[in-house]
């Protein structure tokens, strides 16, 4: 595996379900990110982890719970979601979480549908 | 506040022709960077090119070049010799010292044969 991978690629869940999204990066990076991409809206940064520590929570509802056990893995635990949470969830990584020129490498995303 | 504006929701270009995608930004940071990413229908964001605020030369990367006009706060992407595979959404996020990327709404480019 190379780059940034995300599983599952597609997820359909009911509002009472609990599910998790997984992201793994094989680039030796130290920073990882979760973004939400809704139709016709700019990408929204949700969470940032730098060296396994959460450095950014962009006012995300508590029904989204991130976990970063090590610099290579990032999870997004989902529970009691709403239909408006349906979106493409993108994971990204970068060398670290500082510096203006740090290119972020993105995974293919998980397309989430909440019924 | 930091902001990215992409005023072209959609663009058409004939195969083999050049196309310019517009991007303007607003920031109070002295040091910042502009990125261009391509997002095909598969969903993955693909990095294309980067321009730092202190770079004196416009960035180029193969068929991609960035027309950086700092005084106008614009960082337009020029794609030369368009190919069918260039059809995608294009984003020009702004990066600052915290490495947070601020995205706009993007431009959907369709390359016609």
- Please tell me if residue A95 touches chain B, with a CB cutoff of 8 Å: no
DSSP bridge partners of A75: A22, A67
- How far the first Cα of chain B sits from its last, in Å, is 41
Q: What are the DSSP calls for B36-62, one per residue? A: EEEE-TT---EEEEEEETT-SSPPEET
Chain A interface test: which of B45, B66, B107 (most A C-beta within 10 Å): B45
The reported pLDDT for the residue numbered A1 is 60
All residues of chain A having their beta carbon less than 8 Å from the beta carbon of residue B48 are: none
| Burial grade of B82 (CB within 10 A; 0-12, 13-18, 19 or more) | buried
- Phi and psi angles of residue A23, each rounded to the nearest 5 degrees, phi first: -135, 135
Report d(CA A98, CA A4) in Å as an integer: 19
- Angstroms from B44 CA to nearest CA on chain A: 4
CB nearest to A102's CB, from B43, B99, B105: B99
Query: Quick one: tokens of B87?
Result: 């059809």
The reported pLDDT for the residue numbered A100 is 73
pLDDT beyond 80 at A101: no
* pLDDT tens digits, one per residue of A34-79: 999 998 788 999 999 999 999 888 899 999 999 999 999 999 999 9
CB nearest to A101's CB, from B45, B50, B106: B50
The reported pLDDT for the residue numbered A91 is 97
Taking a contact as any Cβ pair under 8 Å apart, which residues of chain A between 12 and 31 contact chain B?
31
Q: B47–A97: do the CB atoms touch at under 8 Å?
A: no
> What's the mean pLDDT in A102-113?
93
Q: Which residues of B touch A (CB under 8 A)?
A: 4, 29, 31-33, 35, 37, 42-47, 50, 52-53, 91, 93, 95-106
The reported pLDDT for the residue numbered A11 is 96
- Please tell me if residue A32 touches chain B, with a CB cutoff of 8 Å: no
Element (H, E) at A46: strand A44-50
pLDDT tens, residue order, chain B (113 aa): 789 999 999 999 999 999 999 999 999 988 999 999 999 998 889 999 999 999 989 999 999 999 999 999 999 999 999 999 999 999 999 998 777 899 999 999 999 99
- Pairing mode of beta strands A10-13, A110-114: parallel
The reported pLDDT for the residue numbered B100 is 83
* pLDDT tens digits, one per residue of A10-32: 999 998 889 999 999 999 999 99
* pLDDT tens digits, one per residue of A90-99: 999 998 877 7
Query: Quick one: tokens of B47?
Result: 């990095």
């Amino acid at each position: 595996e190379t780059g940034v991978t995300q599983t599952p690629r597609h997820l359909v869940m009911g509002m009472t379900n609990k599910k998790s999204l997984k992201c793994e990066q094989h680039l030796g990076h130290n920073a990882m990110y979760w973004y939400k991409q809704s139709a016709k809206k700019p990408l929204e940064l949700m969470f940032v982890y730098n060296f396994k520590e959460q450095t950014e929570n962009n006012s995300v509802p508590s029904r989204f719970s991130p976990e970063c056990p090590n610099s290579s893995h990032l999870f997004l635990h989902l529970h009691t979601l709403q239909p408006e949470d349906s979106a493409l969830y993108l994971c990204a990584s970068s060398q670290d979480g500082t510096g203006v020129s740090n290119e972020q490498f993105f995974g293919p995303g998980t397309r989430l549908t909440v019924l | 506040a930091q902001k990215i504006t992409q005023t072209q929701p959609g663009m058409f270009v004939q195969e083999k022709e050049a196309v310019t995608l517009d991007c303007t930004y607003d920031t109070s940071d002295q040091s910042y960077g502009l990125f261009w990413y391509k997002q095909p229908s598969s969903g993955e964001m693909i990095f294309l090119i980067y321009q730092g605020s202190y770079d004196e030369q416009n960035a180029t990367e193969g068929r991609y070049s960035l027309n950086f006009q700092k005084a106008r706060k614009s960082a337009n992407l020029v794609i030369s010799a368009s190919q069918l595979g260039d059809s995608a959404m294009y984003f020009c996020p702004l990066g600052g010292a915290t490495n947070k990327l601020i995205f706009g709404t993007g431009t959907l480019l369709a390359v016609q044969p």
